Amino acid sequence: MPEAHLSDSVDKSVFAAALVASTFSMFVAPQPTRSAPISVGQNVMVSNPGSGKAYYEVLLSADPSNATHLLACTTVANRDLADSPYDSAVYVSSDSGAHWTQTLYVRDAGDPACAVGVEGRAYFAAIETKLNSHNKRFSMTRFYRSTDAGEHWLPPVDLSRSLDREFIAVDKTSGKQRGFVYVNAAKYVRNLNDDWASITNSINTFGFFVSSDGGKSFERSGVLAPNDYQYVFADGGSTVLSNGTYIAVFPDLNNRKKQLPPDHTEPDTTLKLLASEDAGETFNKAVIISPQASCSQGSTFSMLPQVATDYSGGPFKDRLYVVWPDQGSGRCEIKFSYSKDKGKTWSSPATVNDDVARPSPKTGPDDFMPAIAVNKNGVVGVLWQSRQSDSTNLGYSLRFAASFDGGESFEPSVAVSTASAAIGRGKMLELWGASSGGGNREDYTRGQPLAVELGYDGRFDYIGGDTIGLAADGDGVFHGLWTDNRAGIFAVWTAPMRTIGIAVNHGSPDLASLSDVTEKATIDVANVRFNKSTSDLTADFYLANTSKVSLEAPLKLRITSLRSKLGAASLVTSATDYAQSQILDFTPQIAGALAAGKRSQAQCVTFHIANLHSVVMYPWNSLTQFISLQARVYAKAQQKRAKAQPTKRGSP
């Protein structure tokens, strides 16, 4: 973007100072009431509050053929003397989440995964901990299936030992692999020195299992090892494209020999995608989605990516979407990318959360643990846990945002949970205890000093586990699933999110028939002013045609991302529809067309910054503190010229 002219309305000497603090008034200008494209229903408790047990780490699946059927699974804290500190449970709803029934409870089991299949089938997997004949612990991942939508469960089949955080995907297409079941998980492999306790020395691989008989057996399985010093730190979610291609995403640790400090902002992992077009017989070369600075500072540990596919018949069919947590900005945020070509290439990462960083470094708010789904209308939904309403950056609540344009932009997020998870709530604190060393049942701690630790479990009490749930039912309604301790102990909660509208090209019916000409245009900016009494920023925007062809009217600019480091930024407009409120029509500023190399007349644009906080201005980043936006430009679709027919020999 060409450099803006700094108006005299803001003292230029401020930008020359090395460090100047300025506090602005908190006046909020009136804004027009805009129709909300997202409505959130009642929060409903899923787990039994009378059990006295705490619940964490949930997943959710919906039945595309039965809008009332939902399947949920959760970890249950087991604080008595047991082989494992965790149990797992499955819940079923037959009335769109209004009521829930527990249908399966597995002792000494964690990392639960569940999925609705085809023809009334349901699936559940968990990592069960047992003691062998030598009184040592070992883990076995077991897979359960149900033929009556999760009401009753058949005996499990064993998948493998030494797995971590499995996910289930089912082929629900009409192809020849319909009903195939896929399980992916991180697979620990011992090295030649029989050492798998250390990331530095052990090998972690991508493990997969394939069933062609609806989960009765898994006739195909294997591992894919990382390269060099990389390490498959954990697995992420998985999905199946409409042509039956199996897709899985995962974070690959860049160098297991070099561990970065918890507050790092440089990437420590690389998000990758694996695809199999033949039901796991072969896999294509892993595709890089994006570098990732996994969240590991303070109270927030979050790194798992999640993936979803557009199964609708709309304009974005088979588009892949991935979300993940990332602390590259200095706090944990929700990143997002999409692929138009079934995972071969990916868009530049965008930020989904729309809160504002606190002025003090490393104080958040952190946004973490995202989940993603696409409904039957092609609308993309993202749910995540946010600490924006907790000044301590320890508690969290749930927020949801939706994209109606194939991931090019997201509507403003909305609160989903009506209460938050808070550390230290209640008179009696439920804590954890663990021992290590001595003759411990865990191989990797044997021989170390015998020790006991009592206190909070950072993985569960601060973040609620490793996963939350989001699914879209057959009617297009999104359902979220999470845990919080509003009732005095961590319980499972759910709520429906309804999105008004369908996915459309360029995010608006008014733009759907136009061509994207962003690569042929730029924005010139002049006369930038900020009114400290109203918190309004005004600027003259010009559209310039940098191509060699004319851009014909209508000519419109659409803002796809609008942010401010100082508060909540919005475009001042009279439009009541959010999609329309982000469009600037430059047609009146041109005479029917914008000629090559020419610039439009100016359009004065006004932005409002609400909830303005104290500002620290630095000369090297001052241009990004007030307003930072991304935009697309659209013009009348260009008519393709017919190819000239070759002249026949002998013709005139």
Q: What is the CA radius of gyration of the chain?
A: 27
The runs of H, that is alpha helices, within 549-625 are 578-581
Q: Based on the domain organization, do 57 and 198 belong to the same domain? A: yes
pLDDT confidence of residue 650: 46
Residue scoring higher pLDDT (446 or 350): 350
- Report how far residue 114's alpha carbon sits from residue 374's, in angstroms, rounded to the nearest whole number: 18
pLDDT confidence of residue 21: 31
Is residue 477 situated within a structural domain? yes
Q: Based on the domain organization, do 335 and 369 belong to the same domain? A: yes
Matching residue, tokens 């002249």: 647
Assess whether pLDDT exceeds 50 at residue 509: yes
Assess whether pLDDT exceeds 50 at residue 348: yes
Q: Based on the domain organization, do 437 and 568 belong to the same domain? A: no
- Proportion of the chain above pLDDT 70, given as a percent: 85
Question: Stretch 310-319: mean pLDDT, rounded?
Answer: 96
Is residue 651 situated within a structural domain? no
Q: Which of 8-22, 394-408, 583-597 has the lowest mean pLDDT?
A: 8-22
Confidence band of 9 (pLDDT split at 50, 70, 90): very low
Which of 464, 499, 534 is the endpoint of a domain? 499
Is residue 2 situated within a structural domain? no
Domain count across the chain: 2
Is 92:151 a contact under the CB 8 Å cutoff?
yes
pLDDT confidence of residue 253: 87
- Report how far residue 393's alpha carbon sits from residue 355's, in angstroms, rounded to the nearest whole number: 13
From residue 369, give the alpha-carbon distance in Å to each of 213, 304, 319, 353, 618. Answer: 33, 7, 22, 12, 32
Q: Which helix (H) or strand (E) holds 13?
A: helix 13-16
Is residue 549 situated within a structural domain? yes
Answer positive or negative: Cα dihedral of 507, 509, 515, 520.
negative
Q: Based on the domain organization, do 510 and 428 belong to the same domain? A: no
Assess whether pLDDT exceeds 60 at residue 648: no
Q: Based on the domain organization, do 485 and 346 belong to the same domain? A: yes
Q: Based on the domain organization, do 469 and 512 belong to the same domain? A: no
Q: Which of 175-184, 226-235, 610-619, 643-652 has the lowest mean pLDDT?
A: 643-652
- Report how far residue 648's alpha carbon sits from residue 652's, in angstroms, rounded to the nearest whole number: 9
Q: Based on the domain organization, do 312 and 442 belong to the same domain? A: yes
Number of H helices, E strands in the chain: 2, 44
CATH number of the domain bearing residue 125: 2.120.10.10
pLDDT confidence of residue 456: 75
pLDDT confidence of residue 641: 53
Q: Based on the domain organization, do 287 and 408 belong to the same domain? A: yes
How confident is the model over 188-217, as pLDDT tens digits? 876 666 554 455 556 788 999 999 999 999
pTM value > 0.75: yes
pLDDT confidence of residue 432: 72
Assess whether pLDDT exceeds 80 at residue 519: yes
Confidence band of 637 (pLDDT split at 50, 70, 90): confident
Which tokens is 404 given? 């109606």
Assess whether pLDDT exceeds 90 at residue 4: no
Is 205:240 a contact under the CB 8 Å cutoff?
no
Q: Based on the domain organization, do 190 and 143 belong to the same domain? A: yes
Residue scoring higher pLDDT (458 or 629): 629
Residue scoring higher pLDDT (306 or 445): 306
pLDDT confidence of residue 124: 98
Is residue 294 situated within a structural domain? yes
Q: Based on the domain organization, do 96 and 204 belong to the same domain? A: yes
- For 108, the domain range is 38-499
Which of 442, 471, 499 is the endpoint of a domain? 499
Assess whether pLDDT exceeds 60 at residue 278: yes
Is residue 243 situated within a structural domain? yes
Which of 440, 466, 499 is the endpoint of a domain? 499
Assess whether pLDDT exceeds 70 at residue 18: no
Report the alpha-carbon angle 339-342-347, nearest 5: 15
Mean per-residue pLDDT of the chain: 87
Assess whether pLDDT exceeds 50 at residue 25: no
Answer positive or negative: Cα dihedral of 128, 131, 137, 140.
negative
Confidence band of 443 (pLDDT split at 50, 70, 90): low
Is residue 91 situated within a structural domain? yes
Q: Based on the domain organization, do 471 and 547 belong to the same domain? A: no
pLDDT confidence of residue 138: 80
Question: Stretch 537-551: mean pLDDT, rounded?
Answer: 97
pLDDT confidence of residue 23: 32
How confident is the model over 37-68, as pLDDT tens digits? 899 999 999 998 778 889 999 999 999 889 99
pLDDT confidence of residue 243: 96
Assess whether pLDDT exceeds 60 at residue 6: no
pLDDT confidence of residue 119: 93
Question: Stretch 276-280: mean pLDDT, rounded?
Answer: 97
How confident is the model over 447-502, as pLDDT tens digits? 788 988 888 776 677 899 999 999 999 999 999 999 999 998 899 999 999 999 99
Q: Which of 46-60, 123-137, 462-476, 531-545 has the lowest mean pLDDT?
A: 123-137
How confident is the model over 82-114, as pLDDT tens digits? 556 789 999 999 999 999 999 999 999 999 999
Residue scoring higher pLDDT (248 or 161): 248
Is 193:202 a contact under the CB 8 Å cutoff?
no
How confident is the model over 140-177, as pLDDT tens digits? 999 999 999 999 999 999 999 889 999 999 999 999 99
Confidence band of 263 (pLDDT split at 50, 70, 90): confident
Which value, to the nearest 10 degrees, does the dihedral of the CA atoms of residues 175, 176, 179, 181 take? -110
pLDDT confidence of residue 612: 84
Is residue 315 situated within a structural domain? yes
- Report how far residue 529's alpha carbon sits from residue 537's, in angstroms, rounded to the nearest whole number: 6
pLDDT confidence of residue 20: 29
Question: Stretch 281-295: mean pLDDT, rounded?
Answer: 96
Q: Based on the domain organization, do 439 and 389 belong to the same domain? A: yes
Is 139:160 a contact under the CB 8 Å cutoff?
no
